[in-house]
Structure 1
Amino acid sequence: MQFWLKVSRGIDAFTRFFGRLAMWLILAATLLSAVNALVRKMFNVGSNAWLEAQWYLYAAAFLLAAALTLRNNEHVRIDILISRFSPRTQAWMDLVGIVFMMLPVCLGVLYFSLPFFWQAYVSGEMSSNSGGLIRWPVYLMIPVGFSLLLLQGVSEAIKRIAFLKGALPSPFVKESDEIRSPDGVEGAQ
């Protein structure tokens, strides 16, 4: 089980990296939006490419941050229902949801989005807007985001199984609840 927990920690670190990248993308989208608005108002100059770049950045941030949201246990679920059950029952419910719902959906999205991205890449698909951008970079974010979500789902399943076997104190710890000890080992408060 310790090997799988190391795998889970590695996936979590990978997810945190992309979550931090998503924060920078939000900042870039915000700054681009502000500059675009100022230039448009002050100099009466606009660009469809700037507008599209904003939503490309936002889409990338959203898709890259989805795995971190799952990692931090802040994803959407019916908390009013699940909170009535014991932690073991909650872990079982999460595990069933991950294995039978989330992972198949991620695989399905990957199955359909990879050819979608590839076709846009090969054809050099451009936005139909005047001065618009190429489309494949934003299409690429779909399989990348769902691959990250799939990996994080595997990590969460590992943690639920470890908890059910008694090898992990709680799989429901949010990243903000974690501390790092001087030796670099993460643990729960």
Structure 2
Amino acid sequence: MAGLLALSRLVDRITGFIGKNVSWLILVAVLISAGNASMRKAFDISSNAWLEAQWYLYGTVFMLAAAYTLRQNEHIRIDIVSNRLSKRTRDWIDLLCHVFFLLPFAALLVYLCWPWFMLSYNSGEMSSNSGGLIIWPAKGMVLLGFILLLAQALSEIVKRAAVIMGVIDDPSPQHDLPPAAEAAIEMEGERRD
């Protein structure tokens, strides 16, 4: 388990670094958007390449930040339901959902994106828009995003299993209920039994 946890920490560091730094691409996209709009209004000139560059940048941020969002435990949940469950039950639900839903989904998308990206790369696929950009870098970011998500899913599975086995403390305590609320939920569950 120690080796898997070390690998998990490495994946967490990589997705953390990428997730924290990819946000700067939003600023670049905004500056491109503002510059393109200004040129269009002031000089009546515009470029499809600049518009596509914005899309590529926004798409890159979305794809590369997905793994970081998972690492931070910030994906959408039904809190009104999960907050009524004990911490142990939530841990088991996370583990099972990661193993049976997230892991196969991310693996399937990596499998499907590889030939899609390679075909685009090998053919030098270009945008059909006049003055557009080459497409394979954008498709490469989709592939990379799913590779990172797959790696982070594996990391989360290792961490959640270690938490359930009592090997490590929960690395995401910010989502725990306050101790009094946790105790109240467990007492209510015992009363029902």
For 1:37, what is the secondary structure of its paired residue?
Answer: helix
For residue 169 of structure 1, report the CA deviation from its aligned partner. 1.7
Moved segments of 4+, more than 6 Å: none
For 1:112, what is the secondary structure of its paired residue?
Answer: helix
For residue 31 of structure 1, report the CA deviation from its aligned partner. 1.1
Q: Which has the higher helix share?
A: 2
What is the TM-score normalised by the length of structure 2?
0.87
Counterpart residue number, 1:52: 52
Note if contact 1:156-1:171 (Cα within 8 Å) is conserved in structure 2. Answer: no
Counterpart residue number, 1:156: 156
Identity over the aligned pairs, expressed in percent?
52
Matches of 2:172 and 2:11, distance apart in 1: 16
Counterpart residue number, 2:22: 22
Q: Which runs of 5+ in 1 are unaligned?
A: 175-189
Counterpart residue number, 1:73: 73
Matches of 1:122 and 1:3, distance apart in 2: 38
Matches of 2:171 and 2:103, distance apart in 1: 18
Q: Which runs of 5+ in 2 are unaligned?
A: 175-193
After TM superposition, the structure 1 = structure 2 runs for residues 1-189 of structure 1, keeping only pairs within 5 Å, are 1-173=1-173
For residue 3 of structure 1, report the CA deviation from its aligned partner. 2.5
For residue 20 of structure 1, report the CA deviation from its aligned partner. 2.3
Q: Which amino acid aligns with 1:44?
A: D
Matches of 1:82 and 1:168, distance apart in 2: 22
Higher mean displacement: 1-10 or 146-155: 1-10
What is the TM-score normalised by the length of structure 1?
0.88
For residue 18 of structure 1, report the CA deviation from its aligned partner. 1.1
Q: Which amino acid aligns with 2:156?
A: E
Q: Which amino acid aligns with 2:139?
A: Y
| Number of aligned residues | 174
Matches of 1:167 and 1:83, distance apart in 2: 24
